Amino acid sequence: MSTSWIVLGVIAVIAFFLFATYNRLVALRQRVDQSFADIDVQLKLRHDLIPNLVETVKGYASHERGTLEEVIKARNAAMGAQGPGQVAAAEQQLTGALGRLIALAEAYPDLKANANFQQLQTELSDIENKIAAARRFFNNAVSEYNTGIQQLPAALFAGALGFHPKQFFDLGESRAQVEAAPTVKF
């Protein structure tokens, strides 16, 4: 009789451990999903700001049509991207196009002095800083999640329960360019 209680106790401890580990992994996965949603919110703000910026520049530099169209094309691609990898690649292209758009201000003193353009540039700089912070939070959450599913004993059953490694929000080669906050000159 006492052997069956011991076996039952061991099974109860193992079951408790499995439930606790599963719940921990679910919480980590939720944190990753929530932090990616935070990035998405900041990117949406950025995407909403771009048409105003383009329209302001268009009034002063209408013959710079190629640059303006490139920004709009990159924005549309970024809005349609799905998942961390695609979003990172699309945002990398958008950042480059925005950099060229902002550089136009140097060639057009009237545009550079325009209060609306200055305000939009300041908002863009603020959003870029928030995106960088959200990206760091996301990558931290992914790191904790990936570590959680790879550590023993969770590694023994994490894959079978649907817990697979997540991809970091990696900027690739242009990391240094994007991590530098945009310069706002008046």
Is 98 in a helix, a strand, or coil? Answer: helix
Give CA–CA dist 27/34, Å, rounded.
10
Listed residue (81, 93, 70) closest to 174, CA to CA? 93
Give CA–CA dist 89/79, Å, rounded.
12
pLDDT digits (tens, 9 = 90+) for 81-101: 988 888 989 999 999 998 888
**Complete domains list, the chain, with CATH:** 2-179 (1.20.1440.20)
pLDDT digits (tens, 9 = 90+) for 22-60: 999 999 999 999 999 999 999 999 999 999 888 888 877
Neighbours of 89 (CB within 10 A): 16
Cα 20 to the center of its chain, rounded Å: 29
State yes or no: pLDDT of 175 exceeds 80: no
Output phi, psi for 16, to 5 deg: -60, -45
Neighbours of 70 (CB within 10 A): 18
Token digits of residue 178: 């994007």
